[in-house]
Structure 1
Amino acid sequence: MEYVNRSVTNLRASFEDLTPQKIIRLVVIVGAYALLRPYLMKLGGKFQMRGHEAQEEPEDTAAPRAKLTPNDIRGQAGIPEDSDDGEEEEEGAEGPAIATDWGKKARRRQRHVLKELLDAEERRLAELQEDEEDKDIEEFLEKE
């Protein structure tokens, strides 16, 4: 109970002693902290990343190792080519198969979806062109 009484007394005394100068000083300090905190977090993150990279480096620097990024992995799956020859690609022909290899049906579905998207875009562009032509013709028609 004694701790509660002390806390209430100290909190009340803190607010009673506030002068305009102390209020302005408090606002400046809190505002500066709010503005500088994101930059300080970025700086701390850079230092932390350097530390992690230094720990991961092998002690034998004679053989540098290549770094693998997520973008390197993402680039392995592409849009299938337009081939309906009926032959399945053999796994051993080009190297080991990866998890993103496309099957025959998946390639056909993807080609079909892409063709539909292209046709829809062509129809939309054709409609826009027809609308513009109609507006040009309306300009020359006589209005009674």
Structure 2
Amino acid sequence: MDPVINIASTLTDRVSTNLRNSFTDMTPEKFIRIVIIAGGYLLLRQYLIKMGGRAQMRAHEEEEARSEEEAKAKMSANELRGKVDIPEDTDDEDDATAEASGPEWGQMARRRQRVMLKRLLDAEEQRLQENQEELEDKDIEEFLIKT
């Protein structure tokens, strides 16, 4: 236990001696020099941080561009599938062309999908209409006199 106490006492003696000597040896020139250095750091710090942030962002963008180029170079034939613009052959209402993003659908599958979407939209409209009627009934019921 004695070596730990000796090290602690030596450390406290040295710190207090060095700190006391630092302030007693301080001349006005040294004090002004410390104030100028600390003030300059505080003034320039924000600009240094912004400049570092810009440099880091630029490096990040360059790395991202490089990785995208490498990914494009390594693209397989399966990844290219569905990314080619093929005019869609619709049978009745849609004349707009759409980009294929997955496997190609047949004409019957597209028709089934349109029919299903129409049914879902009709069901949603029906539900909204019923809700609207219920709200109107509640408004009218509010004004009726109950006897």
Q: Fold match, TM over 0.5?
A: no
Structure having the larger proportion of residues in helix: 2
Shorter chain as normaliser: what TM range?
A: 0.3 to 0.5
Larger RCO: 1 or 2 (CA < 8 Å, sep 6+): 1
Q: TM-score, normalised by structure 2?
A: 0.40
Structure with higher Rg: it is 2
Q: TM-score, normalised by structure 1?
A: 0.41
